[in-house]
Structure 1
């Protein structure tokens, strides 16, 4: 018996344009929804210069996963608070264009409409497990989309620079600190 060949799905130029238009519409709709719902409010959370209330659940879920193994678990809460402080300081000193891009990234990650499909975390960031966060980071790091890989690199650099700029991180990596002058 001869099996009939399975028709391969071909991505024609027309289908590619349809997918691009659909994706653009989805992202524009998500941005509009974020703006109208107040998700992208630019008012910083109390005590911060840049970090907003909507950014905190994501950052509280992300930072411990990125710092895992860099310090004892008992010191994690203090390290997260210090890293948030350093991150806010760094964000406050970014160029306006870079700050805008970073806040847009945080907006996309905060909005449930885009968070689930892009990260695989369908619930709130408050309920995200360490395994879900690791999968999200691996997903973005190994993505075939340049934009997601760039987002991963940005998050990694922001958090790592914020953590390793703090004096309490230096002992864990064997750095004696800057020379005294």
Structure 2
């Protein structure tokens, strides 16, 4: 009797077995990414679990999205550090950087990685840091890469059951 009541209550809330599995898998993965980032003393550790969430909760194939995020972050962090080394960040420099990110993404045929390149460039270039731009860019790349690695590991180790829809 109690089990049936619980099942009815869960169903009324709109919960499905898949939503519970995805929620549990995401929670475990983000905590793993957070713990690793903290243990490695990453300065902005929160980028690791954010990247894990981006990969795990997308409708795009995790491997494809992981590659886009990895390559885009590398491009944006590199370009952001390069620009910050030679120019004082302002709206013109920032806009030119985003434009160059887009052009390079097209030339390199990176497609959707452009959005991640733009995000990384924005963070490296516009957020005030107390460290040199190359250090900030390297940290950003490593923090994001850790989150990507955890997400990919979790997708291999904890496979989702086929969706009945």
Shared fold, TM over 0.5: no
Bigger proportion of residues as helix: 2
TM-score (norm 2): 0.29
Higher relative contact order (CA 8 A, sep 6+): 2
